[in-house]
Amino acid sequence: MNAQKPVVTGWRCAACGTRVAISDVFSWRCPNSSASDRHHVLEIENTIAPLRSNGDENPFVGFQRYLAWDAFAATLGLEFDSRTKIICDLDDAVAKVAGTGFRTTPFLRNDSLSDALGFAEQGGVWIKDETHNVAGSQKARHLFTQLLHLIAVENVGRAPWRNQNERPQLAIASCGNAAIAASTLARAVDWPIQVFVPEHADAPTLKILSALDANVVRCARLATDAPGDPCVFRFREAIVAGAIPFGVQGPENAWCLDGGRTIGWEMAVVAENLAGALFSRMFVQAGGGAFATCAANGFFAGATKPKLHAVQTEGCAPLARAFEIANKTGGARNAGSRWSQCMWPWETTPVSLADGILDDETYDWVGACNAMADSDGCPVVASEDQVRQSFELAHRVTNIDVSPTGAAGLAGLLEMRQEIADDERVIVIFSGVRRQ
């Protein structure tokens, strides 16, 4: 691997086509995004071929040259070894707070679950287990490259604040795992953070956020609000007031679409070295959509491209609706210019045991639809009964203490099981540890 040459060349808006240089500081959103038009999202332009890890157990080091952050930091004049040191130093700081730094997570065939679902020996269910990742889910992967961006800019003196005491607040809208991940990373570098949560945020999450010194703001649905998530509205107001977007929605901060790809890269490397049948399908729970987008984009950088099935619940399925409309109006791929026609907030109050994927809108629907179209996949809408079954099944036959949200990808597999041959290899990602 030539460690001196990053492979990311820039950004391009999936809605309007505007290009943004990889060297731009604080390139969170498309320049054409505004308070009245958030229907823009920057996508990474790169050429990853072939995909190779340098073997480091930290995925941000192992796949460093493929990161948009690495290409950005190179434009700041930082040499490769200096960029690696920033990653490692920040990872050490995170480990002091989280109890673990970023490490490649397990990706193995689960024999018990495969047997329970009637798969043959040559097929089966492979679980990517993110429950022991930083802050208990995959969310910190999305946020780490955002923090790397901020720290690199500070290190070279390009930040508009004079010292750490003048740092503007970070801000995130989240009901659970993303909030905990963001607050964990913020605490690691003593950066103040505002967390906008729904009124019904659960007690265990609020307790963790308090322990991490996050400034928690409960957000009620106001009669004066437009349709959509009040947490996102209050978050956007904070950004206008000077806070830095530090979340997992691509239209608000495209850098979340960079680090999230590491989970796909890890699986792709395993897949390329695996004897026997290729993986045929990948089930990924979808709330805001960045998880499904990044897992697929990372995996697709390898030699195989399983069908992506983005899983939502019957209590909130705006992505499935958008995919269907996009297919009827020009195709599910490159539908960003048809944003208003395809994606809008779910009309009824979202309800599900898998409450972590009840985003009123699938903000990163364009990337998720592209990945499904490219792989001949499709969305899956699981019933609430299947959501409950997946959670119960995960705890009955595996030793993974996953949350209902974290097991929601399995609910999609349950919905489609009769369509899947017994000798197929399928992927389910368990992301989100159960909190009590």
Q: Among 143-152, 179-188, 221-230, whose mean pLDDT is lowest?
A: 221-230
Residue 321 and residue 384 share a domain: yes
Residue 284 and residue 150 share a domain: no
Give the three-state DSSP class for 11.
Answer: strand
Alpha carbon 420 to chain centroid distance?
Answer: 26
Joined tokens for residue 70: 């690495």
Indicate if the pLDDT at residue 390 is higher than 70: yes
Residue 143 and residue 286 share a domain: no
Q: Among 164-168, 175-179, 244-248, 398-402, whose mean pLDDT is lowest?
A: 175-179
Question: Which pLDDT score is estimated for 49?
Answer: 76
Q: How many CB atoms lie within 10 A of CB 327?
A: 16
Cα separation values, 253 from 18, 202, 328, 387, Å: 16, 26, 29, 30
Residue 309: which residues within 8 A CB-CB, separation 6 or more? 281, 282, 283, 284, 372, 377, 378, 379, 380, 412, 416
CATH of the domain at 184: 3.40.50.1100
On whether residue 436 sits in a domain, the answer given is no
Question: Which pLDDT score is estimated for 285?
Answer: 98
Indicate if the pLDDT at residue 261 is higher than 70: yes
Residue 336 and residue 240 share a domain: no
Last residue of a domain, one of 257, 291, 306: 257
Q: How many CB atoms lie within 10 A of CB 25?
A: 15
Last residue of a domain, one of 257, 281, 298: 257
Question: Which pLDDT score is estimated for 299?
Answer: 97
CA angle (11 as vertex; 6, 12 as ends), nearest 5: 145
138 in Cβ contact with 106 (< 8 Å): no
| Residue recorded with tokens 């992301």 | 431
Give the three-state DSSP class for 155.
Answer: helix
Residue 73 and residue 124 share a domain: no
Question: Which pLDDT score is estimated for 2?
Answer: 46
Residue 228 and residue 200 share a domain: yes
Q: What is the pLDDT of residues 102-147, one digit of tens each?
A: 999 999 999 999 999 999 999 999 999 999 999 999 999 999 999 9
Q: What is the pLDDT of residues 271-321, one digit of tens each?
A: 999 988 899 999 999 999 999 999 999 999 998 899 999 999 999 999 999
Q: What is the pLDDT of residues 231-252, one digit of tens each?
A: 999 999 999 999 999 999 999 9
On whether residue 85 sits in a domain, the answer given is yes
What is the residue range of 377's domain?
A: 107-137+260-430
197 in Cβ contact with 206 (< 8 Å): yes
Cα–Cα distance for residue pair 129/223, rounded to 1 Å: 41
For range 151-175, the mean pLDDT: 95
For range 389-412, the mean pLDDT: 97
Question: Which pLDDT score is estimated for 4?
Answer: 58
Of the candidates 257, 264, 270, the one whose C-alpha atom is nearest the C-alpha of residue 282 is: 264
Indicate if the pLDDT at residue 415 is higher than 70: yes
Confidence at 3, pLDDT banded by 50, 70, 90: low
Structural domain count, the chain: 2
Q: What is the pLDDT of residues 319-352, one digit of tens each?
A: 999 999 999 999 999 999 999 999 999 999 889 9
On whether residue 2 sits in a domain, the answer given is no
Q: What is the pLDDT of residues 31-72, one digit of tens each?
A: 999 999 999 999 999 988 789 999 999 999 999 999 999 999
> For the chain, what is the mean pLDDT?
96
Indicate if the pLDDT at residue 99 is higher than 70: yes
Question: What sign does the CA torsion over 207, 208, 213, 215 have?
Answer: negative
Residue 309 has phi, psi (to 5 degrees) of: -120, 105
Question: Which pLDDT score is estimated for 294?
Answer: 98
Question: Which pLDDT score is estimated for 435?
Answer: 84
Question: Which pLDDT score is estimated for 1?
Answer: 44
Residue 222 and residue 161 share a domain: yes
Q: Among 46-55, 168-177, 258-267, 352-361, whose mean pLDDT is lowest?
A: 46-55
Last residue of a domain, one of 257, 283, 315: 257
Residue 211 and residue 229 share a domain: yes
Residue 403 and residue 333 share a domain: yes
On whether residue 435 sits in a domain, the answer given is no
On whether residue 212 sits in a domain, the answer given is yes
Residue 144 and residue 132 share a domain: no
For range 377-396, the mean pLDDT: 98
Residue 205 and residue 59 share a domain: yes
On whether residue 40 sits in a domain, the answer given is yes
On whether residue 412 sits in a domain, the answer given is yes
CA angle (27 as vertex; 21, 32 as ends), nearest 5: 90
Residue 282 and residue 316 share a domain: yes
What's the pTM? 0.96
Indicate if the pLDDT at residue 374 is higher than 50: yes
On whether residue 1 sits in a domain, the answer given is no
Joined tokens for residue 90: 């920040």
For range 360-367, the mean pLDDT: 97
